[in-house]
Amino acid sequence: MRAEKEAERLEDARTVHGRRVLLIDDDREILELLAEWLHGRGHEVRTLVDGTHAVREAKKFDPHVVILDGVLRGTTGTAVARRLREEGVPSRIVFLSGLHRTELPATEVVLEKPIDLQALEHAILADA
């Protein structure tokens, strides 16, 4: 009986509307932890450690959401977001950053680090 309740609890914890999520962060530890958490919530996840191939991967994967670090090695999250928009990628963009809100595009969702996982899940599912 206890095992059944635990299985139900775990199933309830999974997201009803799994989303395709492209996760871009140059901190591999954060990347792996978030990817694992998102998978556990029922999302399909692809990861990149920099923004170099973001447009190509977004066009191939067609993510519902791109989760993007504000500062990446060799570029900024803002520059990556601009390229995505210029190339017509319609995905919702969610910044996860230690930068102040005013340093990131006002047109995109910004969540400050440390990451509030409930707020992140809400941002991912906002249009589901």
**Which pLDDT tens digit goes with each residue over 17-44?**
799 999 999 999 999 999 999 999 999 9
Q: Mind giving me the DSSP string for the chain?
A: -HHHHHHHHHHHHS-SS--EEEEE-S-HHHHHHHHHHHHHTT-EEEEESSSTTHHHHHHHH--SEEEEESEETTEEHHHHHHHHHHTT---EEEEEESS-GGGS-TTSEEEESSP-HHHHHHHHHTT-
Which CATH number goes with the domain that contains 48? 3.40.50.2300
Structural domain total, the chain? 1
Tell me which residue range forms the domain holding 27: 2-125
**What per-residue confidence (pLDDT) applies to 10?**
45
**What per-residue confidence (pLDDT) applies to 3?**
54
pLDDT above 70: percentage of residues in the chain: 87
**What per-residue confidence (pLDDT) applies to 116?**
94
> Would the pLDDT of 11 be above 50?
no
**Which pLDDT tens digit goes with each residue over 83-98?**
999 999 999 999 998 7
